[in-house]
Structure 1
């Protein structure tokens, strides 16, 4: 089931699943009892549900809208909202540019008229950038979006979240935008996206990376996945902040660096155990035992059917020898 389908399935439960109030929400005039808080939350939740369902309907309509229902819009009037544009890998950008250069625009962009001659881009920032900067086009096909600020923000976020092969860091950026602009909690995002709670938590683990590391990842978000980000975040919380920044920089800027190797760079180094030195002692032509030394440990390994008994006997002899050496000093 796609995120969009799960989004629709989950939306109906939002109005009956109020967020748990935090302790710092205990402000003057706010109900103190659980029933009172529940009743006070209903209007806000109902409004949120209406905005979400409206945005979902608009997303569905605009996703199915073809070029025939769109119109040419002057690119110079289009305004990009910082943070909305999805960061593409070099390969993705080249593929999109080649497609737009050689083919008509199949999926029009979505924009909101601002009433002053400008138009806010909701989805299609990369298409606009390529049309304007690479192909020197003056117009692009677009569909107007009419809705509240919350609907616009949800539409912009989910147009990215529904994109195939979206890197985990880009999902994190969209989740953070939803949290900051709409005041939603992690639980709200989990219900809205239809993703598993563990998946959302893993994506939001990017938040626990050092700021310098997040800036590096932002340039090439496909380089670091959510699972590895959670492990890097754990290392940073253990005090290995500089090591994490250096390892993530090496991962992002290197061609052949893997996530596992980068994690090894950031992890505490473990002393490599040396190979044991082994001396074989023979009694005539028969092997008596092997004597090995490794990491301050001397070991004797006796062979044959009497090996265990001989080991006990020699253990006593060695102990007496050591005691005699100590007493003689």
Structure 2
């Protein structure tokens, strides 16, 4: 068997890609790190383990769809477009790759490890059974296999990648460094994905409804404002989800909303005799100074600059 064919077979065992090849997203958010994941040591170990188990634990068997249940570790949602593509394909062709299952944790039926979309397509087609490979794996192994299956899924949203990494991190206590070694994804990418957890609960609920609308880059930027201005961050996310703001505009909207909320001080009017000389007004960290004429401004600008530099040199911080 060629190396190319061997890698293709291994990938098919984990990824539900009967219709489309896996490819990175190009939307500006973090794309599915397929190339990195395939060659990471941790991922190669999981691939080899799956192949070993498939060889040692028997051939594929026919399982009733009514006996199947989603994995409790499944974080990626079912994408209807992907299911419909599988329906069209499987109505004319046989299933190329069996799904992967394990016995249910409650002792009844089976949990799907890989193949949620294929099962959904079979149900729409009215099929009663589906071909499956049964693995004997514990929760930790099942969680890892489901996680990598989701990670390799085409067009997986950054939000669902975050859910997978967050679940694995919480369940295992792994650090970002350990997650990077395990998945082959860089530490900076994982840290960016985990920025979702800094967003307000209300914002995450909005993203849950349309997970592809908010990428990890925006989550990272908004997360810096979430504690100080949670309401503004949530409003920005809502506008992005509803299509009223582009992701690139959301941060500027939040910072603009913050500036608007700053209370303006009462203006201070300075007169020379009865004539207006200048007016000062503070708003947050800003101080606006208006002169009655350009000549007045020119007379004092150099002196003001020198005074400000002196103050800066004398400041404690």
- In the superposition, the TM-score normalised over structure 2's length comes to 0.63
For the 8 Å contact 1:109–1:124, the answer to whether it is kept is yes
Structure 2 CA distance for partners of 1:230 and 1:85, relative to 1, 3 Å: closer
Are 2:118 and 1:127 equivalent residues in the alignment? yes
For the 8 Å contact 2:98–2:133, the answer to whether it is kept is yes
Match of 2:38 in 1: 5
Q: What is the 5 A alignment of 1:108-187?
A: 108-114=98-104, 116-132=107-123, 134-187=124-177
Structure 2 CA distance for partners of 1:188 and 1:224, relative to 1, 3 Å: same
Equivalent in 210, 233, 236 of residue 244 of structure 1: 233
| Number of positions where the alignment pairs a residue of Structure 1 with one of Structure 2 | 235
Quick one: distance in 2 between partners of 1:299 and 1:59? 79
For the 8 Å contact 1:217–1:252, the answer to whether it is kept is yes
Per-residue Cα deviation, 1:122-156 (whole angstroms, up to 9, x for no partner): 11123223322x33322122111122322111111
For the 8 Å contact 2:195–2:216, the answer to whether it is kept is yes
Per-residue Cα deviation, 1:94-128 (whole angstroms, up to 9, x for no partner): 43443344443223211002494411111112322
For the 8 Å contact 1:54–1:151, the answer to whether it is kept is no
Quick one: distance in 2 between partners of 1:125 and 1:147? 18
Quick one: distance in 2 between partners of 1:197 and 1:297? 52
Structure 2 CA distance for partners of 1:70 and 1:315, relative to 1, 3 Å: closer
Q: What is the 5 A alignment of 1:26-65?
A: 55-60=46-51
For the 8 Å contact 1:217–1:248, the answer to whether it is kept is yes
Cα displacement (A) at 1:221: 1.6
Structure 2 CA distance for partners of 1:104 and 1:140, relative to 1, 3 Å: same
For the 8 Å contact 1:56–1:155, the answer to whether it is kept is no
Equivalent in 242, 249, 264 of residue 261 of structure 1: 249
Per-residue Cα deviation, 1:260-304 (whole angstroms, up to 9, x for no partner): 233333333457xxxxxxxxxxxxxxxxxxxxxx9735675xxxx
Per-residue Cα deviation, 1:68-103 (whole angstroms, up to 9, x for no partner): 953321011112134505225554444344334444
Quick one: distance in 1 between partners of 2:93 and 2:127? 14
Q: CA RMSD in A?
A: 3.3
Cα displacement (A) at 1:234: 1.0
For the 8 Å contact 1:87–1:219, the answer to whether it is kept is no
Equivalent in 290, 297, 304 of residue 296 of structure 1: 290
Structure 2 CA distance for partners of 1:118 and 1:90, relative to 1, 3 Å: closer
Cα displacement (A) at 1:206: 0.7
Quick one: distance in 1 between partners of 2:50 and 2:245? 39
Q: What is the 5 A alignment of 1:264-283?
A: 264-269=252-257
Query: Structure 1 regions of 5+ residues with no counterpart?
Result: 12-51, 272-293, 301-310, 317-329
For the 8 Å contact 2:78–2:116, the answer to whether it is kept is no
Quick one: distance in 2 between partners of 1:198 and 1:4? 15
- In the superposition, the TM-score normalised over structure 1's length comes to 0.61
Which one has more relative contact order, counting CA pairs under 8 Å at least 6 apart?
A: 2
Q: What is the 5 A alignment of 1:53-132?
A: 55-60=46-51, 69-89=59-79, 91-114=81-104, 116-132=107-123
